[in-house]
Structure 1
Amino acid sequence: MKEKIIIFDTTLRDGEQSLSNSLTCKEKLKIAILLENMGVDIIEAGFPISSPEDFQSVKLISQTIKNSKICSLARCLYKDIDIAAKAMKYCLQDSFRIHLFIGTSNLHIKHKLKKNFDDILDMSIKSVIRARKYTNDIEFSCEDAGRTEIENLCIIIENVIKNGATTINIPDTVGYTVPLEFSKIVKEILNKVPNIDKAILSVHCHNDLGMATGNAITAIQCGARQIEGTIGGIGERAGNTALEEVIMTIKTRKDILNFYTNINFKDIYKTSKKISNICNLEISSNKPIIGSNAFSHSSGIHQDGVLKNKKNYEIISPESIGSKKKNFNLTSRSGRAAIKFYMKDMGYSEKTYDLNILYKKFIKLADQNGRVFKYDLEALAFLKNSYEENKYYELVYLKICTLYNSGNKIIIKLKCGNKVKKESVSNTSNLIFTIFDLIKRISKIEMKLKKIILKSKTNRSRIVNLVNLSVIYNNTNFHSKKITSDYMKSYILSLIIVLNSIRKYKIVRKKLHNV
């Protein structure tokens, strides 16, 4: 029979500690609702003693969330415990959780807390007894457990359980342990603590050595039944256990992991994206499960293998986490199989184009641009002078003047075929959208700016500016990027690349419609 793994999310507490700006009460509530909808069992809403804002956030979340249990962090100090309980006083759940923690390693006891082991044991017991005045759900964390002597760890755990702790958390606070070592700690606790069966064993792993998910999975194989972590793995330093990784590992490797969670898998991608937006954190493209490249294939060998059987190179489907079906990245490493797939996906049979000729054109464009899109393939397949069409729109003149207390003055001249057209505007403060509107006016193409990424970096004495943008025209996404020493020039040149792509797209549509 499968055993349940409790998912404990600390995005609002440990995760927020890594953000450049604190989240507002409303932002924290939005995240809590997302976590509740995803099926998270326990939401650690904050550390109420740390600030009045954190207290109010915990209070608001406690009064709103119905289906996930609310938890607050507290040091082993009476004032922390009392404030945590006060913040959750009007919790909608039957009970709330108080999460107590104290350093248990010799390093923490001696150098951080300036105490001895007996003092720590006494504080731990008294704090659990104090917390029991407010709730029967008490979690106790032995901070820096990964570097705590096992005998001391077992003594503290036995005593806090004896006095009412119901969940024992073993944190690898600085991400120091490796899976074999961490599994030994979990096993020894289960074997040496006589009353361990009276509590749930939990783990909270950090990712300083990249071991967080590995340690978490090893722990549940050894007997832990609660995993603590954050969405996307955000948190102090290198971050926490990424909950989506643990959840999908349990689901994917059910052949060896006889466990289940209450998570709504199809909400994982949506929840991760929304939380990253609220936290203003970009998800790394190669992030497992939720990264933009997690289900992408660029190698021709991989693309061919996936077309024959997805399982050749995909152990998880994007649909299973609520993400859209991912197609291949068309690059110079792609083969003919990927091109055939894309052309067929767009509705073209092999009789309508010459694959060999198309492939040669494709390789030339891929070497030039890096990545090729579906609309590029159409142009290569059905336009004789596809490369020449890239020069229909060209930048002739650009002037941007910043006027003190009067915004900016912009003048743009574009070559449109055989004509040069000019547009200008004064007293504008929003350069990005103003330039976009001027380009639309000149080209008379009704497009929408979907996404723009601006990146600048210094290279010795030179500044390099990359603009990567996405534009929507006729329900189709058009992409471009450009690098120059001036980011506004990079931006406009990127827009011109898009304009030429849209023009070719329109010509192909008209040509095929007439046929």
Structure 2
Amino acid sequence: MKEIIKIFDTTLRDGEQSPGASMNIEEKVRLAVQLEKLGVDIIEAGFAASSPGDFEAIREISKVLSKSCVCSLARAMEKDIEAAANATQGAKFRRIHTFIATSPIHMKYKLKLSPNDVVKKAVDSVKYAKTLVDDVEFSCEDACRSDIGFLKEILSSVIEAGATTLNIPDTVGYRLPNEIANTIKELHDFIGNRAILSIHCHNDLGLAVANSLEAIKNGARQIECTINGLGERAGNSALEEIVMILKTRNDLFNNFEVNINTKEIYSTSKLVSDITGIRPQPNKAIVGKNAFAHESGIHQDGMLKHRETYEIISPIDIGIELDSTLVLGKHSGRAAFKDKAVSLGFVLNDNEINNAFDKFKALCDSKKEIFDDDLREILGEEVTHIPQVFSLDVIQVSICSSGKFCAAISIIKDGVEYSDSALGNGAVDCILKSIDRISGIKGLLKDYKVEAVTSGRDALAKVVVKVEFEPNKPALIGHGLDIDTMSATAKAYIGALNSYLSMKDLITSKEGTMLLERI
């Protein structure tokens, strides 16, 4: 009988720590639902004590998931553990993941605690967490630079305190595969079946996936990873790479299996990219834009004769239906559109379907060919339930005789149209200034990306912006979609503004204030 390797996804927690990858509550819930559809065993939904936004996101995620375990990170502190327990209270399956650093450098310079004090804090935190939930995970931060004897001491102590999963993070991505193999084997031999051994590898030296695989070979039965390898610094182990290696190299890993539905990998990767605005590099394994592209004449010849000559993974295995990318048209009906939406993984109510169908019809008048990726973008706009305080009505951009650009914009708020204009050094500059004048809220553009959704001159333009509305606060992401790039730019900036207003209401609310005081 094959052993199950549990997939612990931390895209919503560690992945969000990537610079610029912050997500709002609505986006986190949407991604959590997709991760459950992917088959992830444990979803680390956030760090409940870090902010009211994280607390609320974990609480909302706990309400909607029915299969995946919802986990919150917590420092080895009672207030963190209590916040984690409260945030996950509504989950069908829940876990508290508490941690403390164990390496000499961390204990001396960061914690300023003796090894004995660290063991005591670890034991006390696990004991307290165990009074609140049944499933407790304990992590030794910077474990791979810790003394192996001390690791055995603290792990044995937290097992007795009630920890059921023990995580060994290579926090700074320092270790080589053979070193990880030796560490995990020694710890596994010591722990036996008293707890599940887990590994959490960072990619600072590009070895996160290789190290995770060595951990599996030597006793780890839980892998902590993220979609697209997202994460702070160089990122984490990429879920899609680990899963597809286990599947493709079944000759070496035939004793193991995972609960992942690989046909949802591409959709999940794309959703993470869309939400965060961070796209994998084109040559990224499994989900990169060029992962299944063949340009060399020799390769193309081999592919035409037999695909397996140069393709060890079929695109279909991860959910890319290459033979059905061209779909629907201006004469397609609502029923066919709804059926296609379902096949692409979208569950929308009648009102959302109607709105998306109207956008689809309008797009058909501007584009000759409608592709799956066009439809994904249109449908994706409808599943975003951020309160639309402002919405774009009309935009006109022109060049003045002075060489400056001028934008005249009309925006709708509460059914009322507001208009204004502004000069700028470029088209984007004057558009943003016009919106600032109308809304009365000034934003600082931190990042701006534009890309064609599909090929061709009539391709939809997708704009992703990151905007800072308050000094020293996280920049918020906005998305805009339109045939016209400037209209897409205005929509993206307004989207970021709406996200800011939505999050601002939470933070300044009575409930948010009480939460801040509690944590």
Q: Same fold (TM over 0.5)?
A: yes
Contact 2:407-2:427 at 8 Å conserved across structures: no
Structure with the greater relative contact order (CA < 8 A, sep ≥ 6): 1 or 2?
Answer: 2
Q: 1:315 is paired with a residue of what secondary structure?
A: coil
Please tell me whether residue 82 in structure 1 is matched to residue 79 in structure 2: no
- Provide the TM-score with structure 1 as the length reference: 0.65
Residue 291 of structure 1: aligned partner: 288
Q: In the alignment, which of 171, 174, 190 is matched to residue 172 of structure 2?
A: 174
Could you tell me whether the CA contact under 8 Å between 1:157 and 1:168 is conserved in 2? yes
Check if 1:300 corresponds to 2:297. Answer: yes
Task: Please give the residue correspondences for 1:225-264 in structure 2 after superposition, counting only pairs within 5 Å.
Answer: 225-258=221-254, 259-264=256-261
Residue 269 of structure 1 corresponds to: 266
**Contact 1:201/1:223 (8 A) holds in 2:** yes
**TM-score, reference length from structure 2:** 0.65
Counterpart in the other structure of 2:375? none
431 and 178 in structure 1: CA distance in 2 versus 1, 3 angstrom threshold:
same
Structure 1 outlier segments of 4+, above 4 Å = 402-406, 427-432, 466-473, 476-479
Shift in Å, 1:301: 1.1
Which amino acid letter does the alignment assign opposite residue 218 of structure 1? Answer: E
- Letter of the structure 2 residue corresponding to residue 221 of structure 1: K
Whether the 8 Å CA contact 2:398–2:406 is kept in 1: the answer is no
* Change in CA separation of 1:138 and 1:399 when aligned onto 2, cut-off 3 Å: closer
SS at match of 2:400: strand
1:202 aligns with 2:201: no
Write the distance in 2 (CA, Å) between the matches of 1:129 and 1:90. 21
The aligned counterpart of 1:20 is 20
Structure 1 unaligned blocks of 5 or more: 328-397, 410-426, 433-452, 456-465, 480-490, 493-515
Task: State the partner residue of 1:107.
Answer: 105
Opposite residue 222 of structure 1, the aligned amino acid is N
Could you tell me how far apart the structure 1 residues matched to 2:244 and 2:38 are? 13
Partner of 1:42: 42
Structure 2: gaps spanning 5 or more residues? 325-396, 410-420, 429-446, 462-482, 485-519
- The question of whether the paired residues in 2 share the 8 Å contact of 1:296 and 1:326 is answered with no
**1:336 paired residue number:** none
Q: How many residues are aligned here?
A: 359
Letter of the 2:283 counterpart: N
Query: Which residue number in structure 2 is paired with residue 129 of structure 1?
Result: 127
- Cα offset for 1:469? 8.1
* 1:138 aligns with one of 136, 139, 154: 136
Match of 1:320 among 317, 339, 342: 317
CA distance in 2, matches of 1:234, 1:467: 20
The residue aligned with 1:342 is none
The equivalent residue for 1:279 is 276
Question: Which AA in structure 2 matches 1:228?
Answer: E
Give the corresponding residue for 1:383: none
Distance in 1, matches of 2:79 and 2:272, equals: 31
| 1:189-222 CA distance string (max 9 Å, x none) | 01233xx412111100000000000000111011
What do the CA deviations read for 1:382-410 (whole angstroms, capped 9, x no partner)?
A: xxxxxxxxxxxxxxxx983288896279x
Structure 1 residue 120: deviation in Å?
0.5
> For residues 469 and 11 of structure 1, what CA distance do their matches in structure 2 show?
24
Amino acid at match of 1:106: P
Report matched runs for 1:354-433 at 5 Å.
400-401=399-400, 407=407
1-structure distance, mates of 2:249, 2:269 = 22
1:71-106 Cα deviation digits (max 9, x unpaired): 000011111111110111122x1x410001110010
| Aligned AA (1:141) | S
Amino-acid identity (%): 49
Higher-Rg structure is 1
**For residue 436 of structure 1, what is the aligned residue in structure 2?**
none
